Amino acid sequence: MWHSLSSDQEMLRDMTARFLGDRVPLARLRKDLRHDPAGFEPDYWAAGAELGWTSLLVGEEDGGGSVSGRGAVDLALIAFEFGRHAAPGPLVDCNVVASALTGQAGETQRHVLGELLAGSAIGASCLGAAPWQGAGEASVAIRRDGEDVLIDGSMRPVESAGQAAWLLVTGFSDGRMTQVLVPANASGVSIKALKSMDVTRRFGSISFENVRAPASALVGEFGRAGEAVARQIQAAAVMLSAEAVGAMDAAFDMTVDWAFNRYTFGRALASYQALKHRFADMKSWLEASHAVSDAAAEAVADRTALAAETASAAKAYIGEQGPELAQECVQLHGGIGVTYEHDLHFFLRRVSLNRLLYGTPAEHRRMLAALQIEREKAA
Amino acid sequence: MESVEDFRLRARAWIKANLGPVQPWDLDQDCENDEEELVAVARDRRLQRTLFDGGFAGICFPKDYGGLGLTPAHQRAFNEELVGHEFPSRFTVPTFSPCVAVLLEFGTPDQKAKHIPAILKGEEVWVQMLSEPGGGSDVAGATTSAVRDGNEWILNGSKVWTSRAWWADWGLCLARTNWDVPKHQGLTVFLLKLHQPGVEIHRIERLTGESEACQEFMTDVRVPDSLRMGEIDAGWTIGQRWMYHERIGHNSPYVTRPIGLTGKASDLTSPVAIAKRAGRLDDPAAQELIGEARALSIVSHALLRRLAEGAASGQGNVDTSAIGRLFSGLARVRQNTIAFELAGADAAAWTEEEEEETGSQGMDFLMRQVSCIGGGTTEIARNVIAERVLGMPREPSGDKGVPFRDVPRGPKRG
């Protein structure tokens, strides 16, 4: 997280932090919301939307807007607090869908965007084709059929699939990307709830069987969504990274406290050099994660030449080091670290699951390699 | 004061007009033999002079000493514009950081007036005479002695790992002036001319066959009191700042060197080039390694920037520089291992013609740990982070509160 923020940014962050502390403290997540089908109460999301959770990547002309003029940076502040609180709610997907819809002229697109901004509906992103996949590896195909398009395939895991009213479907069309917006209750769409690693977030599997959508449901042009998808993945990488850093921060603080207060053999854990050195390593991973997460948010907000690389570097590095740090925290806690009663697992779940969404570290590394190879060929 | 952006544009135009393309030896300072090294040294001295004459030397140094009196942000802008261009790489570390940084903080007005302009003009290269053969990471345990004799001091002892001392000009030397007080309280810093009677300089050959590191043996070297830095016995006050400037090293606002991630400079030993030679560009495992190496560069760059901004905003303390030191050391170790892995069996043996490209991955791997040893070990960095950043209890030591004379310096013998 940045060393200095404007007072508007601090207010944005603090309002979300206070709200999450009041509405979804860990005690509530642990008990009351554990088996809730959505993982949160209906008015929670709408109230969050009022705090700006879904508007930061949306242009002002569409009813959105950021506080600093750099939406991805402001959104990273919110995501960081989501991580620190292990907060429920489809922050990443709703923002991905909103960012895809801003600037689109279609009536449905504008209507859905309005609902997302108000928090009255949830959008899910079904990434059935991704830039790290070859044409044969995509799980969703979108083809033309007269004036319509037809969607076939499936995607999992999709966050809040069971709660989403709208699906932004990404698929391959003869090796090129297409995006379509369809209602979750469209004929041919079936959604199945999945069990997951997390207790605060819900995931589902979505399959599309001959799902028909009019051309007006296209987001962008048929077969030409590649660049938009790349930018959505960058935005998702920024949010997932900032969230993971928040969770790492919480787990690390908790474990440092533990090291000072836990005594063995008449000494605090914090006095053993073997453990001090591991804390030092963790601190360096944590600071590095803060740094690259911030750098990614800035690069994506400013659309610099290095935006794609910085976002992938953040996703790959934090995706690797976040779970490593959380597992070290478990090890330093000992047995209590794997109990449901303790708070640590919330953060372990958050970073471990975030590692897998919108591209694993291995997938982002291959994207980084592709960019590097391309550049050296050009040189 | 000139704005950073105006300065950047002026720097860009000047660099383009006055500096040629970057040379391979600028980046790793690795010369085939001593003759080539001396040619490179002369060229670096000229380049430093070019910077000075062009009005771009000592960007953050006070005008009184020939600098520009600007800010770290100006230096950073200059360094970003320098990417892809030649620069006086032998004037980065240790001359500008830590040596000149320390000189600027603690030197007498006369010392500063004499040496800082000379360094900015490329006339003096400095080394740090810190480590000792028996000392390792315990630099405050120095046993090189300095004894007062009228208006002079007589130095005896040995310093080691002084890079490039065989051709450099001056050294900052930490010596013991009082053996009857605890170790941190009996040290004094001297400015020492390297090539003078009583200073014998030996080269240390490393396992690669290269020998830029040196060891000095000092026998009754006479140093005038005017070359003493700071108060007598107060050398550790300087030492702590010295350690700080050493830890930030290339990331110091006093150092001129290209920084950036444009990745334009494709060279023979980039991970992509290595994988290509090994015929592995289509191998997903090789692609993951290339991407991992690139990600580490991006993360390192972001971390060093964050630490510098933290220091500038007063939110980080000087000890957070140890985080950068630890991370950079480990990241370079990993990148080195990745290069070795990508090269495969070709790293094992090579022809004379392949020396430049294939030779380095094997030899670099053998030298891998240097990035976690030189400039303060990563173990010391971990102690600093745990104890001074996280506030954890200090390690017990055998030299606290004990007159240095009585501190054990080896196993007790019967």
* pLDDT over threshold 70, residue B205: yes
Nearest CA in chain A to B275: A373
> What is the domain-level CATH number for residue A217?
2.40.110.10
Q: How many CB atoms lie within 10 A of CB B162?
A: 24
Residue ranges per structural domain of chain B = 4-91+101-125, 128-236, 266-389
- Provide the domain count of chain A: 3
Q: Which residues of B touch A366 (CB under 8 A)?
A: 284, 287-288, 291
User: pTM to 2 decimals?
Assistant: 0.94
What is the crossing angle of helices A71-85 and A226-261, to 10°?
40
Residues A34 and A150 in one domain: no
CB contact, 8 Å: B153 with chain A?
no
Q: What is the pLDDT of residue A240?
A: 98
Q: What is the pLDDT of residue A42?
A: 83
Say yes or no for a CB contact (<8 Å) between B381 and A281: no
The region, left, alpha or beta by phi > 0 then psi within -120 to 50, assigned to residue B56 is alpha
H/E element, A308:
helix A307-333
No. of helices (H) and no. of strands (E), chain A: 11, 9
What token pair was written down for A140? Answer: 């969703």
CB contact, 8 Å: B323 with chain A?
yes
Residues A232 and A354 in one domain: yes
Say yes or no for a CB contact (<8 Å) between B291 and A366: yes
From A265, A266, A253, select the one nearest A332 (Cα to Cα).
A253
- CA gap B101, B107 in Å, rounded: 10
Q: Where are the beta strands (DSSP E) in B55-144?
A: 126-129
The DSSP call for residue B21 is B
What token pair was written down for B116? Answer: 């800082």
Give the architecture-level CATH label for domain B266-389. Up-down Bundle (1.20)
Single-letter residue type at B167 = W
Residues A195 and A267 in one domain: no
| Mean of all residue pLDDT scores within chain A | 97
* Residue owning tokens 């982070």: B385
- CA gap A210, A207 in Å, rounded: 10
In this prediction, residue B315 has a pLDDT band, given cuts at 50, 70 and 90, of low
What is the crossing angle of helices A7-23 and A42-50, to 10°?
170
Give the β-pairing of B145-149 and B152-163: antiparallel
Q: Which residues of B touch A259 (CB under 8 A)?
A: 392
Residue B320, class by beta-carbon neighbours within 10 Å (0-12 exposed, 13-18 middle, 19+ buried)?
buried
Measured CA to CA in angstroms, residue B219 lies from B154, B159, B185, B194 at distances of 8, 12, 24, 13
Say yes or no for a CB contact (<8 Å) between A310 and B298: yes
Average pLDDT over residues A363-368: 98
What distance in Å separates residue B386's CA from the closest CA in chain A?
5
CB contact, 8 Å: B295 with chain A?
yes
Say yes or no for a CB contact (<8 Å) between A316 and B291: yes
In this prediction, residue B398 has a pLDDT band, given cuts at 50, 70 and 90, of confident
Q: Most B CBs within 10 Å: which of A257, A283, A290, A320, as the mutation test of the B interface?
A: A283
Residues A12 and A104 in one domain: yes
Q: Most A CBs within 10 Å: which of B83, B264, B292, B325, as the mutation test of the A interface?
A: B292
Q: Which residues of B touch A294 (CB under 8 A)?
A: 302, 306
Residues A356 and A259 in one domain: yes
* Domain span holding position A59: 7-118
Residues A72 and A186 in one domain: no
Contact between A197 and A352 (Cβ < 8 Å): yes
Say yes or no for a CB contact (<8 Å) between B303 and A273: no
Please tell me whether residue A179 adopts helix, strand or coil conformation: strand
Say yes or no for a CB contact (<8 Å) between A368 and B390: no
pLDDT exceeding 70 applies to what percent of chain B? 96
Average pLDDT over residues A130-150: 93
pLDDT exceeding 90 applies to what percent of chain B? 77
Q: How many CB atoms lie within 10 A of CB A189?
A: 18
Residues A185 and A285 in one domain: no
Q: Which residues of A touch B330 (CB under 8 A)?
A: 284
Q: Which of A203, A223, A243 is the last residue of a domain?
A: A223
From B19, B116, B102, select the one nearest B69 (Cα to Cα).
B116
Higher pLDDT, A289 or B134: A289
Give the β-pairing of A123-127 and A148-159: unpaired
Among B78-92, B198-212, B322-336, B356-370, the minimum mean pLDDT is found in: B356-370
Q: Which residues of B touch A373 (CB under 8 A)?
A: 272, 281, 290
Say yes or no for a CB contact (<8 Å) between A284 and B326: yes
What token pair was written down for B396? Answer: 């017990």
Q: What is the pLDDT of residue B251?
A: 84
- CA gap A368, B4 in Å, rounded: 31
H/E element, A167:
strand A166-173
Average pLDDT over residues A49-72: 97
Q: What is the pLDDT of residue B262?
A: 60
Average pLDDT over residues B180-205: 97
Contacts for B369 with CB less than 8 Å, ≥ 6 apart: B333
What is the crossing angle of helices A71-85 and A273-302, to 10°?
150
In this prediction, residue B265 has a pLDDT band, given cuts at 50, 70 and 90, of very low
Q: Most A CBs within 10 Å: which of B261, B294, B394, as the mutation test of the A interface?
A: B294
What token pair was written down for A73? Answer: 């940076």
Say which CATH class B128-236 falls into.
mainly beta
Residue A2 placed within a domain = no
Average pLDDT over residues B25-45: 84
Q: Which of A172, A194, A223 is the last residue of a domain?
A: A223
Q: Which residues of A touch B261 (CB under 8 A)?
A: 306, 309
From A344, A321, A54, select the one nearest A199 (Cα to Cα).
A344
Say yes or no for a CB contact (<8 Å) between B303 and A291: yes
| pLDDT digit string, tens, across residues A206-254 | 999 999 999 999 999 999 999 999 999 999 999 999 999 999 999 999 9
Residues A328 and A266 in one domain: yes
* pLDDT over threshold 50, residue B149: yes
Say which CATH class B4-91+101-125 falls into.
mainly alpha
What token pair was written down for B323? Answer: 């985080």
Residues A249 and A347 in one domain: yes
The answer to whether the Cα torsion of A266, A270, A273, A274 is positive or negative is positive
Single-letter residue type at B201 = I
Contacts for A204 with CB less than 8 Å, ≥ 6 apart: A156, A157, A158, A160, A161, A162, A191, A192, A193, A194
The region, left, alpha or beta by phi > 0 then psi within -120 to 50, assigned to residue B85 is beta
Contact between A238 and A297 (Cβ < 8 Å): yes
Q: Which residues of B touch A372 (CB under 8 A)?
A: 263, 270-272, 290-291, 294
Q: Which of A268, A291, A365 sits opposite B288 (nearest CB)?
A: A365
| pLDDT digit string, tens, across residues A251-299 | 999 999 999 999 999 999 999 999 999 999 999 999 999 999 999 999 9
Q: Which of residues 325-384 of B touch A (CB under 8 A)?
A: 326-327, 330, 379, 381-383
- CA gap A176, A223 in Å, rounded: 5
In this prediction, residue B28 has a pLDDT band, given cuts at 50, 70 and 90, of low
Average pLDDT over residues B120-140: 92
What token pair was written down for A243? Answer: 């969230």
Q: Which of A279, A317, A379 sits opposite B386 (nearest CB)?
A: A279
Say yes or no for a CB contact (<8 Å) between A281 and B393: no
Say yes or no for a CB contact (<8 Å) between A310 and B266: no
Average pLDDT over residues A343-361: 98
Residues A114 and A128 in one domain: no
Q: What is the pLDDT of residue A222?
A: 98
Q: Which of A290, A317, A367 sits opposite B306 (nearest CB)?
A: A290
Residue A1 placed within a domain = no
Residues A363 and A256 in one domain: yes
Say yes or no for a CB contact (<8 Å) between A259 and B284: no
Residue A171 placed within a domain = yes
Residues A64 and A198 in one domain: no
Q: How many CB pairs under 8 A join A and B?
A: 152
CB contact, 8 Å: B292 with chain A?
yes
Q: What is the pLDDT of residue B8?
A: 97
* Residue owning tokens 């709408």: A46
CB contact, 8 Å: B310 with chain A?
yes
* pLDDT over threshold 80, residue B267: no
What distance in Å separates residue A306's CA from the closest CA in chain B?
8
Average pLDDT over residues B240-253: 88
Contact between A271 and A319 (Cβ < 8 Å): no
Among A314-328, B10-24, B141-155, the minimum mean pLDDT is found in: B10-24
What distance in Å separates residue B248's CA from the closest CA in chain A?
15
Q: Which of A182, A204, A223 is the last residue of a domain?
A: A223
* Residue owning tokens 């090129």: A176
Average pLDDT over residues B252-258: 92
In this prediction, residue B266 has a pLDDT band, given cuts at 50, 70 and 90, of low
Q: What is the pLDDT of residue B120?
A: 98
